[in-house]
Amino acid sequence: MENVNSYLIVSAILFSIGTIGVLTRKNAIVIFMCVELMLNAVNLTFVALSRHLGNLDGQIFVFFVMTVAAAEAAVGLALMIAFYNNKESIDVEDVNIMKW
């Protein structure tokens, strides 16, 4: 088994790539996929630390993260479809009705 630090570093790199994607992309679906990437990076941290500490609680928590991700996928994609029906676009810069 590899050292737990190497898994944590991989997780940090994936999380940062996800952050850059969320902050720089304009397509709402790609932003959504980057959020999924960040959630997965956190899941990797949970599983690595759970194995390292010999405690199953982290892996149970990964289940709940996956559940929230599934719920988020359902609601978020429904939101995008509703927005596309209104504006014919899913660029986040077109979401400006509530802009001050």
Partner 1 sequence: METLFFLIITLVAIVSAILVTTCKNPINSALALVMTFFCLATYYVMLDAPFMAAVQVMVYAGAIMVLIVFTIMLLNIRVDASKKHSHKVVLGSIIGFFTLVNTAFIVIKGHVASPNGPLTGEMIRQQGHTELIGREMFTNFLLPFEITSILLLVAIVGAVILAKKKI
Closest CB to partner 1 among residues 54, 99: 54
Is residue 29 near partner 1 by the rule CB under 8 A? yes
Q: Is 30 in the site for partner 1 (CB under 8 A)?
A: yes
Is residue 95 a contact residue for partner 1 (CB under 8 A)?
no
Question: What distance in Å separates the CA atoms of residue 43 and residue 37, rounded to the nearest whole number?
Answer: 10
| Residue number, 26 or 98, with CB nearest to partner 1 | 26
Closest C-alpha to 72, from 21, 41, 31, 18: 31
Q: Does 27 bind partner 1 (CB under 8 A)?
A: yes
Contacting partner 1 (CB under 8 A), which of 37, 95, 96, 99?
A: 37
Residues 6+ apart with CB under 8 A from 37: 14, 17, 18, 21
How far is 93 from 83, CA to CA, in rounded Å?
Answer: 12
- The smaller minimum CB distance to partner 1, of residues 77 and 98, is found at 77
